[in-house]
Structures are given as structure tokens and as C-alpha cells.
Amino acid sequence: MVYTDKTINRLKRVEGQIRGILRMMEEGKECKDVITQLSAARSAIDRTIAVIVSANLEHCIRESIDSGNDDSSKLVQEAVNMLVKSR
């Protein structure tokens, strides 16, 4: 699978968030503020997972249709399983 610059940039932003959280912890910031930022980073990762899974699903379904093998229900189930495992 080819990952787009947009998807890679999403993770780079998360990387920056994590560095910021570590800095907050090193500076002794309030627990509430650290947890808020951790929650935001987790949410960003969850959204990135969804983007990757949906792009992969679309790619696989197109490939399946092009090859004359319509296994779309199996592909959708696999995508759902990936999302469930990521939680």
C-alpha cells in the first residue's frame, strides 16, 4: 500500500504532540492538562487508523472488482476487524 503525504503528515503531527506532552510532564504541568493532550493524541491516532483502513479497503475492493473476484463482504469484514483490534 502507498501511504499519502497527508497520512504521513498526520502522524508527524502526533509525533509533535507526544514530544509536547513529554515536555509538559518534564515541566511538571497539571495532570488534567497532560491527560487532555494525551487524549487528543490518541484521538489523532484513531483518526489516522481509520483513514488508513478506509483507503486500504477502497484499494482492495477496486482490485477485487478489477480481477473479477467480488469478495467485498469479506474485505469489509477484515476492515472492521482491523478497526476493532485497534481499540
pLDDT, tens digit, 9 for 90 and up, residues 16-68: 999 999 999 999 999 999 999 999 999 999 999 989 888 888 888 877 777 88
Structural domains in the chain (count): 1
Q: What is the pLDDT of residue 61?
A: 80
Q: What is the pLDDT of residue 72?
A: 75
**pLDDT at 71 > cutoff 80:** no
| Boundaries of domain holding 30 | 5-85
pLDDT tier, 82 (very low <50, low <70, confident <90, very high otherwise)? confident
**pLDDT at 69 > cutoff 80:** no
With b for 16 or more beta-carbon neighbours within 10 A and e for fewer, the 54-64 pattern comes to: eebbeebbeee
The CATH number of whichever domain residue 12 belongs to comes to 1.20.58.1000
Q: What is this structure's pTM? A: 0.79
Q: What is the pLDDT of residue 84?
A: 80
